[in-house]
Chains A and B, each alone.
Chain A
Amino acid sequence: MASAARHPDLPPPASTAGALGWLRQNLFDSPLNGAMTLLAIYFLYLVVPPFVDWAFVKADWRGERSEDCSRAGACWVFISVRLNQFLYGFYPVAEQWRVNLAAALGVAFVVPLFIKRFSLKQWLGAAMLAFYPVIAYYLLAGGSFGLAPVETSKWGGLFLTLVIAVVGMVAALPLGILLALGRRATNMPVLKALCVAFIELWRGVPLITVLFMSSVMLPFFLPEGMNFDKLLRALIGVALFESAYMAEVVRGGLQGIPKGQYEAADALGLGYWKSTVLVVLPQALKLVIPGIVNTFIALFKDTSLVLIIGLFDLLGSIQAANSDTNWLGFSIEGYVFAGCIYWVFCFGMSRYSQWLERKLHTGHRH
């Protein structure tokens, strides 16, 4: 006899649900996949436990001298003893509050720009661009307002890395935008050719040769007796180099703007600069924000190259510490420490860029 009553649903087979089902679907759905899973687990077994053992379990955390380390695991004493040097270089300890203050001011200026509800963003941004570099310069270099002068040769560590990165970014973006606009100026062939030559020249050579050039060749091109700071020369080199990359990124954005936008701006009677600043650039830059952030990440990593021309940035100060005869044999700890710092900055920026990309992906396409 038939029954019209509906049976309750049976639970799914045990092999397709729960942890077991997940394992089956994701790790063991074919013999080949199973083998690869086992291989991966074996690889992790080979790498992870020894690393944890070295970095945490057997590591030495407290002490003052290299003799305090048992050498059975990592010797983080090496880092903690020299932490000040890794962060500030040879900046006098009594004056380091100035670096901290400059950093805090920078953060205080930047954070409101990321708050959605803050309505004075444009004013704050303009104020920051106008005043912050001046304030930071007087604070860091000193020499007036009763602050003791600190030569740039004493700047170093993470502080110097951040100075180079921030100055490079701030200088490269506007320069890159101008170059990109110049490269797109089809009605001005001479200007276009100059911009193309500039961009391709910098993009075709490695940053190292640019830094070499700024350190050994630039003095030849300056009037006799005139010479400026090594750090400033490196900054100019980095800014020009990155501006060429930035120009190509911005050009991508400019090409992504439909012709109708230009024509609409013309129809409204806007001149070149007004249509560029009010109509084209806001859309173009929005399109390429991920590319801009990627250029920033590359720039941040590239700052480490200044150690080759003798500046002691984060990596440079680690390298200098490694050759200290009292602390021989701890280079791995130094590199791991520096690697972690660089990684946190770069990974943070790349995640931020991905988040922005998703957020700005508003309509338009598909």
Chain B
Amino acid sequence: MDRESDSASLPARPAPWNDPRIRAIVFQVLVTAGVIAVGIYLVRNLLHNLEVRGISTGFGFLENRAGFAINQSLVAYDESSSYGRTFVVGLLNTVLVSALGIVLATALGFVVGIARLSRNWLVSLLAAAYIETFRNIPLLLQILFWYFAVFLNLPPPSEALAIGDSVFLTLRGLYLPRPVPEAGFAWTALALAGGIAAATFLARWARKRQERTGQRFPAFLACAGIVVALPLAVFSATGSPLAWVLPELEGFNFTGGLSVIPELGALLVALSIYTAAFIAETVRAGILSVSHGQTEAASALGLKRSWTLRLVIIPQAMRVTIPPLTSQYLNLTKNSSLATAIGYPDLVSLFAGTTLNQTGQAVEVMAMTMAVYLTLSLLISLFMNWYNARMALVER
């Protein structure tokens, strides 16, 4: 009945052991202390163990001579190079296979994802079979399959599968003609760069004019013409300054030309096929997320089916597709580390494998390897976040 005295009899604040704020602080202090204690314990063990085994700490080992050969390297490398150099070689090989894999998997994934939605029953069924088969088999199994059962079962160099006398496929790898630019080729490269710049400018101008006046300009054809025709014209005008070195069978193997080692081939095929199955699903989900009303509205406006797809559905579908697509790219990059199972010289196999075994610097090597993957992950997600922000819905 007497509210005043009632509320007065309640304590203004709960007892300290019941106060959420104090509890939170105590809990956090305890957790932090625990983490620090465990950390100190581990580091002390580590220092003690390193001392007992006579391993020096620090990154000095990176200067030492590595002394082992690598079968694929994008920069100059030989046995007298340092461990620091093997790190660079491994990193570049990881980046190479990830970049190629992302391009191939995206292309294949988009095709399969669209095929999955096709009105054609058979095509859609085939796409579904593809997705369900490759998504549900471990990637490592697929990599081993492609390497040991397919690429290493190709014919030896003496019986190589050949296309003309320029492309050869053997169990030692794929051999392609290598272009060698001669004097004057720089003009063609310059023309290509100029063409791309001009085309970008033209496309931007055409879009602005269309937005302002509604007049259309065949920008796509014009740009393609500039990018292709200009360098071609310069190329023939300067007398085709490009030679091709063909691979030739010498003894037991091919020499000359451009070679793709079978490890790269197997890894690339397996990574692309596996990731494409996931990308296909994200593409399908993205397209399905655009409501049917959008398609109907586009038809009501009189847009052709191809325009509906290009101007209405894909821009909206991309918004839903990009976040999961990012994580697929990240997965592909991280999965490229499975290279170590078939001996493709990527970062994990070269650095966390061979280098670690030879130097015994487990802590430094693992820390550097993990730091690289963390940085790559961060870079890809930053880029995709930026792209996502650009594509996001612009609202008033």
Contact = CB atoms under 8 A, between A and B. Distances in A.
**A and B part of one assembly:** yes
B46 interface: yes
Interface stretch (A9-17, A74-82, A97-105, A220-228): A220-228
A304 B138 contact: yes
B338 interface: yes
Contact of B340 (A219, A297, A308, A346): A308
Interface string B35-75: 10000001001101110100000000000000000000000
Interface stretch (B212-220, B247-255, B363-371, B382-390): B363-371
Contacts of B377: 203-204
Contacts, number: 153
Contacts of A233: none
A189 B46 CA distance: 30
Interface stretch (B142-150, B161-169, B308-316): B142-150
B144 A208 contact: no
Contacts of A322: 148
Given A27-B122, A190-B32, A201-B374, A217 B348 contact: no
A308 B341 contact: yes
B355 to A, nearest CB: 12
Given A188-B27, A205-B334, A304-B138, A335 B144 contact: yes
B378 interface: yes
Given A194-B31, A315-B140, A208 B337 contact: yes
A219 B362 CA distance: 10
Contacts of A208: 337-338, 340, 348
A209 B348 contact: yes
Nearest to B136: A346
Contact of A220 (B28, B46, B140): B46
A27 B121 contact: yes
A213 B365 CA distance: 10
A338 interface: yes
Interface residues of A, number: 55
7 contacts: A36-B120, A36-B122, A201-B370, A204-B378, A213-B366, A221-B49, A331-B148
Interface of B: 20-21, 24, 27-28, 31-32, 35, 42, 45-46, 48-50, 52, 118-123, 126, 132-133, 135-141, 144-145, 148-149, 334-335, 337-338, 340-341, 348, 352, 356, 362-363, 366, 369-370, 373-374, 377-378
Closest 7 CB pairs of A and B: A346-B136, A206-B334, A26-B121, A301-B138, A204-B374, A206-B337, A304-B138
Given A36-B120, A308-B140, 14 more contacts: A27-B120, A187-B21, A191-B27, A205-B334, A209-B370, A212-B366, A220-B50, A224-B52, A301-B137, A307-B140, A338-B141, A339-B137, A343-B137, A346-B136
